[in-house]
Structure 1
Amino acid sequence: MSDAVRADALLDEMPREGRGRLKVFLGAAPGVGKTYAMLQAAQAQLRQGVDLRVGVVETHGRAETEAMLTGLPQQPQQRLEYRGVALSEMDLDGILAKPPKLLLVDELAHSNAPGSRHSKRWQDVQELLDAGIDVYTTVNVQHLEALNDQVRDITGVQVRETLPDWVLQEADEILLIDLPPRELLERLREGKVYVPEQARAAIDAFFSQTNLTALRELAMQTAAARVDADLSRRYRQQGQQAPALRGRLLVGIDGDAQAERLVRHACRVAERRHLPWSVVYVDTGGERDETRLSYLQGAQQLAERLGGEVVSLRGSEVAKTLIEHARERRASLILVGRSRQRLRRIWHLGRGLAERLLQHGQGLEISVLDTEASHTPALSRRRQPVVWRDYLLALLATLLASAVALGLSRVLELPNISLILLAAVLVVAVRSSLGPAMACAGLSFLAYNFLFIPPTLTLTIDRQQDVLTLLFFLLMAGLTGNLASRQRQQLQALRETQRETSALLELSRKLTAATDRQAVLAAAMQQLGLWQDVEVSLLSRSPDALWKVEAGAQRLLTDLERAAADWSWQHDQPAGLGTGTLPDGRWWWLPLSGEEGPLLLLGISPKDGRSLPAERWRLLTALGQPLAQALERAQLAEDLEAARLHGQTEELRSALLASVSHDLRTPLTAMRGSIDSLLALGEQIPLADRRELLEGTRDEAERLDRYIQNLLDMTRLGHGGLKLARDWVAPADIVASATQRLRPVLSALQLEIQVPQQLPLLYVHAALIEQALVNVLENAARFSPPQGRLRVAIEADAEELRFSVSDQGPGIPEHERTKIFDMFYTAARGDRGGQGTGLGLAICQGMLGAHGGRVTVGEGLDGLGASLTLHLPLHTQPQMEEEQ
């Protein structure tokens, strides 16, 4: 390593002298425990006597986090006022006035309130570090600026609060706080991350299993990249290359018949040594026929199936390119096959690839796999079609250059005339290929001898120095033409690679944002549909071997094409057009496979009926890999969701059977007893008692009817069968109708109704809102004491209208107030009691939710009971027609 590189690495560390140290607790998402881990580390520092202070910590109401703050000295917050609202921020000046050794600053990406010194909290931290104060801080990976677009594609949420990546890169220590997505979702549901209402919204919007898994991968990649960069920097400071801690196996392949054998051998070696491994192909820009391309592609596909990494590199010299890549990836072993190409060995002075690797690969283990000559089938080099137009170009270029040289021969010396002919060779090499370039070099050699070497107009050479001149001219023309031709081939190869890379990146970007199977298929068709010369079809196969078109062209398959599709699916290999299996059809089939086999079949049919070029096949194969991974990810997410729904269904079924069996049996038993008494005693029962029995039977029948209605309403809510027939209705009418329906139930209570004279109209489904109010009133009356007060009040403001039902019952414990709206939940005491289906308030919540409303719970009357408030949004009031 050069002294300059080492000096730069040392200079990077010098500014940190006298500067505080920054430790970042990095997480994938809120709730993984970053703040808790930071406070835990601070408690350990406090026990060691470190002078520390809490600058700002956001507990978000989490009890375990608040408990960790106990005993930690805290800096009072700075109070700011913005547009009449009091805000609190970290007191930067107060901290700098009496600086501690260590400061805790939560949420590094936070935006400060207007009026603060810095607009961002990370800028405050930079000032604290410059003052020599060590800082512990927390940040989520989605707040990194460089990942903003990727996070948006993953989650569909644009993160507004970001910080530059260099802030994280300059941190002295990064600690990854990891929590599996399943555990994080459990914490979210238990209210340990957000309050329950926010938690439900967060699960629906941001905290999905797929999003959390992708964010977790980003966090791990960020931390791993930082560790890798830090290790390399430390070694550069010592003037050394970072060693390969675990090592890696690189296997170099070429387009020959032994490439697949070499890949299989590399896989076995990697398994024995427990090493990650990569298959590397170095493209030198030379021409490759279709046979070599097929061998190369087969070896790369085999490596992918065996779990290896496939890498394609560009370079003029294979050995040096392999060694440079090995050092970049910190590989410890390079495996190659023995070179049997005589022309290449002659070009490198008899040294094969292995000898050149041994010469330049100091510190690397070089292994060479020798193969028997009898096992190496000769590569059938297909003759390239002769492009006579290119050779005609070589002839015309030579004639034109000769004419120009003759015209300038009187003013130019002989060496300068040769440059004109060399220019013609360059032009031909750039515009065509190596063959025409060499033909132009030969013609220019003859023209130079015939026209300009004395005696002119003959091929005779009199002077010995002219022989050397002609030989050097021929050598330079050949080298120039060869070099220009190779540069043109490399340029074409680079363009092909760029097109392939761009297509892969675009498809990967679209697939990253796809969260389900249909979104994956839409992204695939959007990308593949850019090719106007082919038809694309994505097929799925049912268990009874029937094909279904999932997306793309809806075409009837012939028996031959269906047979090719079946074979491709069963053998997990491409088949059809352009392959060695059933190639006579119009479609080329590629299975998109996961770990358990094919997931989908990609079909490509050229519109002109001809087979696509090999480059297009390779690109389609490359595009198939991320598409298959996205399909597998979507299927896994669907399976997990199905398993979760199945579990919830079983829980609901058990709760329904347990609760409904009691609630339906009780009124039926009472009704049966009354009817049996009437049948058995008949006229012997006094008239007043008979009337009482009949009224009791009627009340129990109405009670049973309400239970059944609740079950039907809940079923309609759960299956989306609830239709909202909205109309304008007066709130007072809803209250009057609901109290009239429950008159027998409310007769034993002191009912108070508070309805203002001027109230806005509601645009709602009146029957549903009335039913919701009936459920709340019945629930309150059920647990109110005899002759207890029950108040129904209506309030309104510019945004919403509220129905409040307050009682003097036993009340609802505060820790159960968020649970009473769950189906089949019955509190041990309070407004719900220990009996009942637990459907009334759940239906109430569902009905109001369908209207964009909600239900809240508060304190009851005179410090007793509970108050349930129905919130409904107000709409723009209709214009009343004026009387004529």
Structure 2
Amino acid sequence: MSNPTRADALLAGLPREGRGRLKVFLGAAPGVGKTFAMLQAAHAQQRQGLQVVAGVVETHGRAETEALLGGLTQQPLLRREYRGVMLEEMDLDGLLKAAPALVLVDELAHTNAPGSRHVKRWQDVQELLAAGIDVYTTVNVQHLESLNDKVRDITGVQVRETLPDWVLQEAFELVLIDLPPRELLERLREGKVYVPEQARAAIEAYFSQTNLTALRELAMQTAAAQVDADLASGYRQRGQEAPALRGRLLVGIDGDEQAERLVRHACRVAQRRHLPWSVVHVDNGRLRDETARHRLQAAQQLAERLGGEVVLLRAGEVARTLIQHAAERRASLVLVGQSRDLLRRRLVGAGVAARLLRESHGLEINVLDRDAQPPAARTAAKRVWVWRHYVLALVATLLAAGLAWAVSSVLALPNISLVFLAAVLLVAVRSSLGPALACAALSFLTYDFLFIPPNFSFAIQREEDVLTLVFFLLMAALTGNLAARQRRQLQALRETQAETRQLLDLSRRLTVATDRQAVFSAAGQHMDGWQGVQVCLLERSADGLLQVASGGSPAFTDNERAAAEWAWQHGQAAGFGSDTLPHGRWWWWPLAVEEQPLALLGIRPRDGEPLSDPRRRLLMALAQPLAQALARARLGEQLEAARLHGETEQLRSALLASVSHDLRTPLTSMRGSIDSLLALGDAIPPDDRRELLEGTRNEAERLDRYIQNLLDMTRLGHGTLKLARDWVAPADIVGSALNRLRVVLAPLRVHTEVPPELPLLFVHAALIEQALINVLENAARFSPANGRLQLQVSVHDEQLCLAVADEGPGIPQDEREKIFDMFYTAARGDRGGQGTGLGLAICQGMIGAHGGRILVDDGIDGHGTCITLCLPLPTQPVTESEAP
């Protein structure tokens, strides 16, 4: 055995993380001692220090059982009134809140009172297990869904309370509580199971020795199957060869009376042979009445409850399609039921079982005989005939007869039959096989009555005419069957195309959706066009509440919200039409990827009827790409957040590296000057002392400019920079900036050109002055010693331009657009070497806030750089001298 197989077996043998263990006490019938054995095992666990709580235990008035129950903590039962009767049920929420180590739950197959969260008690147990709570429970073998028909055959009683077999198969431990039938009957007669009146009726109706023996055998077979499965798992965990799964079991069903019986039989065969199994229905387009459709849906739902896979195929040939599907799924066994209506089936081809036996190669074919018992009482339902199609057959025959009579003088007798064949084909194409055969029969009689001598009589004189009529009927039936089959296939293709179109349309919409909101919008647009249902999508808000993401804002009741919360937490369907909180109007399906819910799909049928199985399967198929799109959108959001985080970290590193250098330089200079003044004191000559103090002041001003740049950049980045505009002369801004930078500009030859008649600017003067200071300081830093620096102010195209040109190394053409980015430093330009890289970025922000722009060009005589600040000129204010 391969190591991966052994590893899988070992992992399967371990309890799932965070999930409790289930121990089932199985009996053949009531009274064998299941509850008593469960209470004894619970006391043993309590003596070992385990916290044990009795969730619900039915003692049925037995003194020994009540004595054992008295020594355990009991969770109070909930009381609900239903139709004037007070019912008591297990308090599931109370148990979940208390969270004991072990809970005792009697009668696993019990049906809860209306209004409970779950329809069945075994669903309550599943929720307890999911919460990490161990459960001891009891059940009788007649409640297993796969044995329901067998129990009915044995006892003559249809058991209504059932549970899926997979619940027992997932049990960590199964204990068979056995009691010989004779002893059980003695207990019944002594009143230890029921009160004497009930015991007498039970013995006469159900608890006969023969019935109890048969039920005991079923219980032993169930326990033996569980033991076999555990033994096989143990072999696999040891790395040894175990009974391997061979292929797959396929069971073909139709909408007849034995569909559910076939499913149950297939489940039992699959358990005995350790085979995965699938229920396959081949839709060949044949019209079915409402009863047949309900039977088919019931059988498919039963298969899902029993743990089987449901497959729907559309094709014309049932047997051939089953064989092809068996080959695709590598199935080794095909199970079908015995065909009914043999005469009709053989007219159009052999039965499905016969064709499977004849055409399959290497497949084991099992045919289940029809139930010999009389069918259970059911409501008399007449077959619904599509009368319009048969009226069409009658009208087509009459029209064909009239046309044939009109051309009978021109055409020979054999050719007249072609007119009737055309009518049969028309009916077959427009309706189905039944009306086509009816048209063929009517055409046969009309052709004989009107055209075969003697006319107007069904008598036939010539033998060759008999053969002609027989061939005519045969050709009419064959052509009608062929045309009807093609029509059914066309309908099946149209339905498949419609489903494929739905998936393709949704996938196309989701492909262009880049975020969660776009995904919700695309899904909402796709589903808004559905008729007969209302659709909505729910998501978790930031505070953890479910909110509508798409589909309007429908009003939900408390039950509907509870169903939605339960579906989100447990990853299973809930609400209307399900077994969990079914009393609302919405059906909820979680959209999950890797068991992580991302959203909830809600469907509300407008007619108040539960969703059909085909519609539900289509919704589940659509939910998969929708969930994947939501997962992709979430991944995109996470990647974007990671990218932003990376850029933020990079920006922070650049800021720290740049600021630490530029703040450290003036601080170091200031500290050196102050240390010299403190150390030498009066020993320093006055001129040197003054020089040190002026240097300290200059470095302090330089440090102040750096800090001001940082504050301005912060205000620009957060949008908190406020413009206090006022009218100001450009010459005043230029003069103030040059005065503040007189020390920085002292080593340079500065030439200014400020015309005397310049229009006023309506700006925040301090910001424009700071922008001009940053440009001047940038030019001074990279100008050579005794180099030229020009400052020109001019007016062009209703803009005032302040141009600062230097003789520095210049900025390459391909980098001129980047120099206004924060922390960008040109390799050979004005931004190279030193500086925080914030000066020009702040300039652009300040000038841009005023609606202006910054231009970069060549400097003096084609050398260096020229940076021009362009500000818009508004309409000039009216002065007092100009006022009338």
Q: TM-score, normalised by structure 1?
A: 0.52
Deviation digits for residues 779-806 of structure 1 (CA, Å, limit 9, x no counterpart): 2334556654322346888899875433
> Kindly tell me: are residues 475 and 784 of structure 1, through their superposed partners in 2, closer, same or farther at Cα, counting changes over 3 Å?
same
Deviation digits for residues 534-592 of structure 1 (CA, Å, limit 9, x no counterpart): 43322212587521222221123223333443454445455545666655543343444
2:551 counterpart of 1:552: yes
Counterpart amino acid of residue 645 in structure 2: H
Deviation digits for residues 91-115 of structure 1 (CA, Å, limit 9, x no counterpart): xxxxxxxxxxxxxxxxxxxxxxxxx
Aligned-partner Cα distance in 1 for 2:533–2:847: 52
Deviation of 1:444 (Å)? 4.3
Alignment partner, residue 482 of structure 1: 481
2:785 counterpart of 1:753: no
Pairwise mapping of residues 398-797 of structure 1 onto structure 2 (< 5 A)? 398=397, 415=414, 418-447=417-446, 465-531=464-530, 534-542=533-541, 546-570=545-569, 572=571, 575-577=574-576, 584-595=583-594, 597-610=596-609, 617=616, 619-661=618-660, 663=662, 702-721=701-720, 735=734, 738-739=737-738, 741-743=740-742, 745-754=744-753, 770-782=769-781, 784=783, 787-793=786-792
Alignment partner, residue 362 of structure 1: none
Aligned-partner Cα distance in 1 for 2:762–2:365: 84
Deviation of 1:648 (Å)? 2.0
Q: Is the 8 A contact 2:448 2:469 kept in 1?
A: yes
Alignment: residue pair count: 604
Matched position secondary structure for 1:791: strand
Aligned-partner Cα distance in 1 for 2:333–2:494: 29
Counterpart amino acid of residue 554 in structure 1: S
> Kindly tell me: are residues 470 and 557 of structure 1, through their superposed partners in 2, closer, same or farther at Cα, counting changes over 3 Å?
same
Q: Is the 8 A contact 1:805 1:869 kept in 2?
A: yes
Deviation digits for residues 317-376 of structure 1 (CA, Å, limit 9, x no counterpart): 9869999x99xxxx9997786474776895499875697587xxxxxxxx75867969x9
Deviation digits for residues 103-157 of structure 1 (CA, Å, limit 9, x no counterpart): xxxxxxxxxxxxxxxxxxxxxxxxxxxxxxxxxxxxxxxxxxxxxxxxxxxxxxx
Counterpart amino acid of residue 865 in structure 2: S
* RMSD over aligned Cα atoms: 6.5
2:880 counterpart of 1:869: no
Matched position secondary structure for 1:554: coil
Counterpart amino acid of residue 539 in structure 1: L
Deviation of 1:746 (Å)? 3.2
Deviation of 1:717 (Å)? 3.7
Aligned-partner Cα distance in 2 for 1:528–1:727: 58
Aligned-partner Cα distance in 2 for 1:585–1:814: 70
Aligned-partner Cα distance in 1 for 2:813–2:687: 45
> Kindly tell me: are residues 676 and 384 of structure 1, through their superposed partners in 2, closer, same or farther at Cα, counting changes over 3 Å?
farther
Counterpart amino acid of residue 429 in structure 1: A
Identity %: 60
Counterpart amino acid of residue 792 in structure 1: L
Q: Flag structure 1 segments of 5+ consecutive residues without an equivalent.
A: 1-248, 263-278, 359-366
Q: TM-score, normalised by structure 2?
A: 0.52
Counterpart amino acid of residue 867 in structure 1: T
Matched position secondary structure for 1:714: helix
> Kindly tell me: are residues 811 and 555 of structure 1, through their superposed partners in 2, closer, same or farther at Cα, counting changes over 3 Å?
same
Deviation of 1:695 (Å)? 6.9
Q: Is the 8 A contact 2:337 2:367 kept in 1?
A: no
Counterpart amino acid of residue 433 in structure 2: L
Q: Is the 8 A contact 1:429 1:485 kept in 2?
A: yes
Q: Is the 8 A contact 2:248 2:330 kept in 1?
A: yes
Alignment partner, residue 191 of structure 1: none
Aligned-partner Cα distance in 2 for 1:252–1:774: 85
Aligned-partner Cα distance in 1 for 2:725–2:481: 81
Deviation of 1:642 (Å)? 0.8
Aligned-partner Cα distance in 2 for 1:497–1:744: 84
2:389 counterpart of 1:390: yes
Matched position secondary structure for 1:480: helix
Aligned-partner Cα distance in 2 for 1:746–1:630: 61
Aligned-partner Cα distance in 1 for 2:796–2:294: 79
Matched position secondary structure for 1:627: helix
Matched position secondary structure for 2:553: coil
Deviation of 1:478 (Å)? 2.6
Which has the higher Rg, Structure 1 or Structure 2?
A: 2
> Kindly tell me: are residues 803 and 418 of structure 1, through their superposed partners in 2, closer, same or farther at Cα, counting changes over 3 Å?
same
Alignment partner, residue 198 of structure 2: none
Aligned-partner Cα distance in 2 for 1:722–1:355: 88
Q: Is the 8 A contact 2:253 2:336 kept in 1?
A: no
Aligned-partner Cα distance in 2 for 1:643–1:786: 47
Counterpart amino acid of residue 837 in structure 2: G
Pairwise mapping of residues 160-239 of structure 1 onto structure 2 (< 5 A)? none
> Kindly tell me: are residues 528 and 474 of structure 1, through their superposed partners in 2, closer, same or farther at Cα, counting changes over 3 Å?
same
Aligned-partner Cα distance in 2 for 1:370–1:769: 92
Alignment partner, residue 841 of structure 1: 840
Alignment partner, residue 31 of structure 2: none
Q: Is the 8 A contact 2:252 2:281 kept in 1?
A: yes
Aligned-partner Cα distance in 2 for 1:847–1:763: 14
Aligned-partner Cα distance in 1 for 2:385–2:429: 17
Deviation of 1:646 (Å)? 1.0
Pairwise mapping of residues 252-401 of structure 1 onto structure 2 (< 5 A)? 285=285, 338=334, 340=336, 347=350, 352=355, 368=363, 385-398=384-397
Aligned-partner Cα distance in 1 for 2:555–2:801: 60
Deviation digits for residues 396-424 of structure 1 (CA, Å, limit 9, x no counterpart): 55566567667777887665554454444
Q: Is the 8 A contact 1:753 1:791 kept in 2?
A: yes
Pairwise mapping of residues 47-126 of structure 1 onto structure 2 (< 5 A)? none
Aligned-partner Cα distance in 1 for 2:566–2:653: 47
Deviation of 1:693 (Å)? 8.4
Deviation of 1:647 (Å)? 1.7
Counterpart amino acid of residue 639 in structure 1: Q
Aligned-partner Cα distance in 1 for 2:555–2:687: 80
Aligned-partner Cα distance in 2 for 1:386–1:632: 49
Deviation digits for residues 449-493 of structure 1 (CA, Å, limit 9, x no counterpart): 566666777766676555544443433333233233233333333
Aligned-partner Cα distance in 2 for 1:809–1:615: 78
Alignment partner, residue 50 of structure 1: none
Matched position secondary structure for 1:437: helix
Aligned-partner Cα distance in 2 for 1:605–1:725: 58
Q: Flag structure 2 segments of 5+ consecutive residues without an equivalent.
A: 1-246, 267-278, 340-344
> Kindly tell me: are residues 572 and 778 of structure 1, through their superposed partners in 2, closer, same or farther at Cα, counting changes over 3 Å?
same
> Kindly tell me: are residues 820 and 426 of structure 1, through their superposed partners in 2, closer, same or farther at Cα, counting changes over 3 Å?
closer
Aligned-partner Cα distance in 1 for 2:764–2:484: 78
Aligned-partner Cα distance in 1 for 2:707–2:527: 53
> Kindly tell me: are residues 486 and 841 of structure 1, through their superposed partners in 2, closer, same or farther at Cα, counting changes over 3 Å?
same
